[in-house]
Structure formats: structure tokens, C-alpha cells
Amino acid sequence: MEAGGGGRPSRGAPASPPRVLIVGAGVAGLGAALRLRRASRRFADLRLLEASGRVGGRIRSAKLGNKVVEMGAHWIHGPSRENPVFRLAGEYGLLDEGAMSEENQQVDIGGHLVLPSVCYSSQGQVVSPGLLDSMGVLFLTLLEETRGFLHAADVPVPSVGEYLKEAIAQQVKEWSEDEATKRLKLAILNMYLKVECCVSGTHSMDLVALGPFGEYATLPGLDCTFPNGYEGLTERMRALLPEDCVLFNKVVTTVRWGGSFVEPITGRLFPVQVECEDRETFLADHVLLTIPLGVLKEQQEALFCPPLPPQKVAAIRHLGFGTNNKIFLEFERPFWEPDCQVVEMVWEAESPLAEPPADLPAAWFQKIGAFVVLHPPERYGHILCGFIAGKEAEFMETLTDAEVLADLTQVFRRVTGNPQLAPPKNILRSSWHSEPYTRGSYSYVAVGSCGDDIDALARPLPEEGSDLKPSQILFAGEATHRTFYSTTHGALLSGWREADRLIHLYDGSESQRCAPKL
């Protein structure tokens, strides 16, 4: 290997087309591949290396009995024209009429889906809808306030959680009800905090940075699902690529960059060499990495040679990547009403102003704030999907199905006050923390990091100002999108962004002429 050659690629037609490798065949990687191939014939020398045996990554549909459920991404958040996932799904004919309607696209929920619900307390009672609504409004009002610190010079406290707790403590002083009602109100607010942990994919909102929180952007449109599975999207994307374009079971273990690697057969020189677990190596002019932040956190030191520059390493360390898991439970008969779409649970001894239960084996299940009822019942039967975030979610992964089923049956019996309630007949769970090629669920801006870290993570290598060949390694994936991180549309847009970077690197005018449809 020699030192890397300098300069931008020449503007004239190169002797050989640039060779591009994309690592990871989630929606970011597939999106980038399609954009490159559609933009120009120049990018015909393109392959995806995928560690697992399937495309889709964190878009993963599965079967519970004969029903299709989502182990990863669930909704299109903000399904309207600006959302590229919505546009693609619509173009591929994957959504139902209701989701495609103009009316649906115009609803603006500000990122918070509110569905008809029932809320049970740990005392075995249904919580009054009035009390629940008033606490829901209070919680969302306080949460909205946190967005106001985006451009503030100073923040009163480092985290969203601390801000909410201080604001709640102030509210409590003004409450005039009896002690039992005050306790219940606090327990309800605590339930909303747990749900918010799932939304942000974090163990605690105390870990989520206050200042940058308002930078996450929402789009109009009432969140919708894929009737036949989210995976239809990524399967369709894959089908639009040449058959041999995606190589499966290729776990990339080393990315050597800034070099000069000779291809024996052609004598061509490449700046990057990628090595896989099976020892197979690939040479490339450009490698686009869409590896999840959880994997980068675990493996960045071993993965890159030479090591990543300090700013990139700091971004990987400081940004947050937490676990949000799902537990699907199928019941013979529902214990909820037909119009109910969410079953919430309030643990009366809990409060945002007190420490959460520390005994994971005894209380892990108390972290589940809500179960979504899969809708409509004609399609799903009677399935609840519980969301659980953080350390409790990671602990849940260590249990057996039978243990989870037994614990949750006890919970349902307790909250409904029906000791005879039949256990669920079927269970299916995600375990995103244990997944070797994900190591968690999605990213958030943690205390000690900010949007600039997202941009630092997204910047290609070598860094600007270097005289080495540019854009040898590019970075995409949900964690690299500054305003839509943690979503499928953020991931897709990040893939397109990096594809465009390469297109412009070679010939800006050609990419304009041959711009893809989307």
C-alpha cells in the first residue's frame, strides 16, 4: 500500500467508473444505491455489503401467528408530501386509501399521536378520563416549552427530564386536591415520561439534552402504518436494484482508507479497502457507511484504519443511542373496548419527583407506559404492542418468553382487577439491544452533545483541506440527519444526501439532467 493520491476526480469522463461500496442495506443504504444508479450510468460499479441475511435493517416485519407486525419502525411519522418515505410508499402502492387522503396529510399532530385510550391504575381501577386528559395537556405543554431553548444562550438545566421535573414540582405547589389525587396526578405524569422515553429511545429523559431538543422536526400528516408490513418498502427498493447488487452476510470489520490499494487483475489503484469477517476484501473509490450509531459506538476503534479524526470520535461517543423494544401479545378475547387504541398503565406509587424502582427483576414491567392496540381488529384480531425503553428494555431481553408472559399476565390481572383474566395466547418481542448489527434502537441528542455532533458524524473523510482524494468514506443513516434523526425518513434522506454528494463530486450538471423522480 502507498500513500493516497491527491485531488478531485477529473471533470472529464474517467477511464473507469468510480467504484462505490455501500455498507448496510437498511433504508439509508438502499435509498443511496437507488439514487446513484438512477442519477447516472456512471455509478454502475456499485455494491451493498450487508451483515445480515436480509435488507431493511431496523425496518423489519414479522409474523405473529398469521398477522404481520413490525419489530422495528412502526409508523410513517408525518405522512405528507414532504416525507420521502410517504412519497415512496405511495408510489409503490403500499398504503391504504385513508393514509393517502389529502385530509390525512393535512392533520398536524406536532409529533404526538393521540389515540382513544383506556388507562388502568396499579390499584385495579380505570383512571378518570378527565384527569388523564388534563395531565396529558399539562405534559405536552411542558414538553413543548422545552423546544423554546433551541437558540437560547443558556439552558436552566442540562436535560429535558430535569426541566420537566422542575416544572412539575412548581405545578404541584398549585394543586389543591387531596393527597391521593395529587399522587395519582404525579403517577400519570410519570407514565407520560415513560412514553416519552420510548419516543426518544432513551433510558431516561434526564439523558436527553435540553438545548437541542427543539431541533427535531415534525411533518404534517396523521401517522400511518403499512397494511402489509413496513418491509414491503425496503423489499421493493431492493427489487429495483440489479440482482447481484446486494451481498449478504458480509460483516464489515475493517475499513482502510487514505491508502493506495492495487487491484491485481486491472492494476487499478483504490484509496479504500474494506475487509469482512470472512476475510474477503473489497476495493473502492468511495465507501458509504450506514452502520447504526450503536455499532459505531461499540466498534469504531477496531473498524477504521487509520483511526477516525477526534471530532468524529467525540460525536460517536457523545450522541445518544438507546433501546426501545416492543412486546406483542395476542389475546383470545380483548379486555379493552372495541374503539380503544391504547391501553395505558399508571403505577400509583411512582412519581417523576422520586427515583424509579431499582429492582429490575421485580419491576421491569413497570417501565411499560402504554400498549398500542393494533388496529383495525379485522386485520389484527386482538394484539397489544407494549413499548419499553432503556435499561428495563435491555433487561427484558434477558428473560424468556414464558417469563415475560407470566409477568405481564400478572400485570394485566392486577390493573384490570380481574384475577381470572386469561393470559395472552401468543407473544413476540424485539431485542434491539442484543442485535449485533444494531446494538440499540435509534439515536437521540444526549446531554453533552448537540446538533453539531450530528453534522460532524455526517461529514465525509478525508476532512476538508486534505489533499487526499475526497469523500473516500461517507456517512449516512438515521443518526446523521440533524432534524429527522431516529426516523425512517431521516435515514432515507441521509442516504440521498450522500448519494448527491458523490453525484456532484463527479458531475453536478449530469446529476441535474438525470435527476431521479424523487
498 binds ligand 6YU (CB under 6 A): no
Residue 200 is a binding residue for ligand 6YU (CB under 6 A):
yes
3-state secondary structure 161-201: HHHHHHHHHHHHHHCCCCHHHHHHHHHHHHHHHHHHHHHHC
- Position among 4, 18, 24, 79 found at the interface with ligand 6YU (CB under 6 A): 24
Q: How far is the CB of 110 from ligand 6YU (least distance, A)?
A: 10
Residue 23 sits in the site that holds ligand 6YU (CB under 6 A)? yes
Using a CB cutoff of 8 Å and minimum separation of 24, what contacts does 162-167 make?
162/206, 162/210, 163/210, 164/139, 164/193, 164/205, 164/352, 165/352, 165/353, 167/142
The whole-angstrom separation of Cα 187 and Cα 184 is 5
Q: What is the number of residues in the chain?
A: 518
- Could you give the 3-state DSSP secondary structure of residue 130? helix
- Does residue 343 sit in helix, strand or coil? strand
Alpha-carbon gap, residue 119 to 132, rounded angstroms = 8
Asked if 316 and 92 count as a contact pair (C-beta separation under 8 A), the reply is no
* Residues between 88 and 147 with contacts to ligand 6YU, criterion CB under 6 A: none
User: Shortest Cβ distance from residue 492 to ligand 6YU (Å)?
Assistant: 8
**Segment interacting with ligand 6YU, rule: CB under 6 A, options 27-35, 114-122, 336-344, 362-370:** 27-35
* Helices 488-513 + 84-91 axis angle, to 10: 80
Indicate whether 491 belongs to the interface with ligand 6YU (CB under 6 A).
yes
* 326 binds ligand 6YU, rule: CB under 6 A: yes
Name the CA radius of gyration of the chain, rounded.
24
> Which of 20, 21, 22, 27 touches ligand 6YU (CB under 6 A)?
27
Q: Is 252 in the site for ligand 6YU (CB under 6 A)?
A: yes
Residue from the set 488, 496, 502, 507 that interacts with ligand 6YU by CB under 6 A: 488
Identity of the residue, 454 or 491, whose beta carbon is nearer to ligand 6YU in the bound complex: 491
Interface with ligand 6YU, residue 368, by CB under 6 A? no
- 216 lines the binding site for ligand 6YU (CB under 6 A): yes
And the C-alpha cell for 169? 414540582
Q: Which residues contact 237 (CB under 8 A, 6 or more apart)?
A: 27, 30, 31, 34, 55, 88
With CB under 6 A as the contact rule, the residue among 190, 273, 324, 366 that binds ligand 6YU is: 324
- Write down the least CB distance from residue 121 to ligand 6YU, Å: 25
Phi, psi of 192 (to 5 degrees): -65, -35
Q: What are the cell numbers at 484?
A: 429527522
Contacting residue, 416, 472, 487, 511, with ligand 6YU by CB under 6 A: 487
Is 441 an interacting residue with respect to ligand 6YU (CB under 6 A)?
yes
Contact between 489 and 7 under an 8 Å Cβ cutoff? The reply is no
CB neighbour list of residue 393: distance below 8 Å, 6 or more residues apart = 323, 324, 325, 367, 433
Q: Residue 370 is inside which H or E element, if any?
A: strand 370-373
Number of alpha helices (DSSP H) and beta strands (DSSP E) in the chain: 16, 21
Binding segment toward ligand 6YU, per CB under 6 A, in 5-13, 97-105, 169-177, 247-255: 247-255
Q: Pick one of 39, 199, 450, 505: the residue that binds ligand 6YU (CB under 6 A).
A: 199
Q: Write the CB contacts of 343 (distance below 8 Å, at least 6 apart in sequence).
A: 117, 118, 119, 120, 336, 370, 371, 373, 384
Span 334-363, contacts to ligand 6YU by CB under 6 A:
none
Q: Does 202 bind ligand 6YU (CB under 6 A)?
A: no
Minimum CB distance to ligand 6YU, residue 323 (Å): 8
User: What minimum distance in Å lies between the beta carbon of 401 and ligand 6YU?
Assistant: 18
From residue 49 to residue 78, what is the string marking binding to ligand 6YU with x (rule CB under 6 A)? xxxx----xxx------------xxxx-x-
# chain residues binding ligand 6YU, by CB under 6 A: 44
x/- contact string, 387-426, with ligand 6YU (CB under 6 A)?
Answer: ----------------------------------------
Provide the minimum distance between the beta carbon of 431 and ligand 6YU in the complex, in angstroms, as a whole number: 10
- Extract the C-alpha cell encoding 206: 434526564
What is the signed CA dihedral for 493, 495, 500, 503, rounded to 10 degrees? -160
The residue (of 85 and 468) whose beta carbon lies closer to ligand 6YU is 85
Rule CB under 6 A: say whether 219 interacts with ligand 6YU: no
CB of 91 to ligand 6YU, least distance (A): 17
Binding flag, residue 28, ligand 6YU (CB under 6 A): yes
Q: Give whichever of 291 and 405 is closer to ligand 6YU, judged by the CB atom.
A: 291
- The helix (run of H) or strand (run of E) holding residue 459 is none
Report if residue 159 touches ligand 6YU, rule: CB under 6 A: no
Q: Choose one: 172-180, 186-194, 373-381, 429-437; the region binding ligand 6YU (CB under 6 A).
A: 429-437
Answer for which of 18, 26, 258, 390 binds ligand 6YU (CB under 6 A) is 26
Cα–Cα dist 269/264, whole Å:
9
Cα separation, 200 vs 148, whole angstroms = 18
Nearer Cβ to ligand 6YU (50/350): 50
- 394, containing H or E segment: helix 391-396
Q: Which residues bind ligand 6YU (CB under 6 A)?
A: 23-29, 49-52, 57-59, 72-75, 77, 199-200, 213, 216, 250-252, 290-292, 295, 324, 326, 430, 432, 437-438, 441-442, 477-478, 486-488, 491
